[in-house]
A = this chain, B = another copy of it.
Amino acid sequence: MLRIAKLTDYATVLMVRLAREPGRYFSAAQLAVELGVPQPTVAKLLKRLLRAHLLASTRGVGGGYSLALAPHAISVADVVGAIEGPLALTECARGKGNCSLERGCATRANWQLINHALRVALQAVSLADMARPQLQPVYVQALQEKMP
């Protein structure tokens, strides 16, 4: 089915929520209630996003999380990467040449290209775009500009 992990899906929703009020700090508990997702799960996601330097945090009473960058400067690819690690459709696409089909495998280079197309598609859409109800025109324009 080639789907992203459910947690990644949650993460994008979280990030879009934060993108709607860029300056404000939100606690994990607050976001959990607002989105209807269990609190520990939300906390875990926020931690991962923090480690990827997509969020800023302050501790203590009244603390919480906020975007580390402007909404238009964070792409969907960034969020996916933060939760799932660097994206690589095929096993061999991320080094580690433990692929039994090495010799004469002409498809590898081509997978890289498909891979790249996907990455571009995800990079072309920012949180600012996602926060819009429907981004059709922006999206199409960005994609066509950025396609290799």
Residues of A at the B interface (CB closer than 8 Å) are: 1-4, 6, 9-10, 12-13, 16, 35-37, 76, 80, 84-91, 93-94, 100-101, 105-107, 109-111, 113-114, 117-118, 121-122, 125, 129-136, 139-140, 143-144, 147-148
Contact = CB atoms under 8 A, between A and B. Distances in A.
A110 B135 contact: yes
Contact of A13 (B2, B80, B107, B122): B107
29 contacts: A2-B84, A2-B87, A2-B88, A2-B89, A3-B90, A3-B91, A9-B111, A10-B101, A12-B111, A13-B105, A13-B107, A16-B107, A35-B101, A36-B100, A76-B114, A107-B130, A109-B134, A110-B129, A110-B134, A113-B139, A114-B121, A114-B122, A117-B121, A117-B143, A118-B121, A121-B121, A143-B147, A144-B147, A147-B147
Contacts of A117: 121, 143
Contacts of A110: 125, 129-130, 132, 134-135, 139
Could you tell me the dominant secondary structure of chain A's interface residues? helix
Nearest to A90: B9
A29 B118 CA distance: 34
A131 to B, nearest CB: 7
Given A2-B88, A143-B147, 8 more contacts: A3-B90, A3-B91, A16-B106, A110-B130, A110-B139, A114-B125, A118-B118, A144-B144
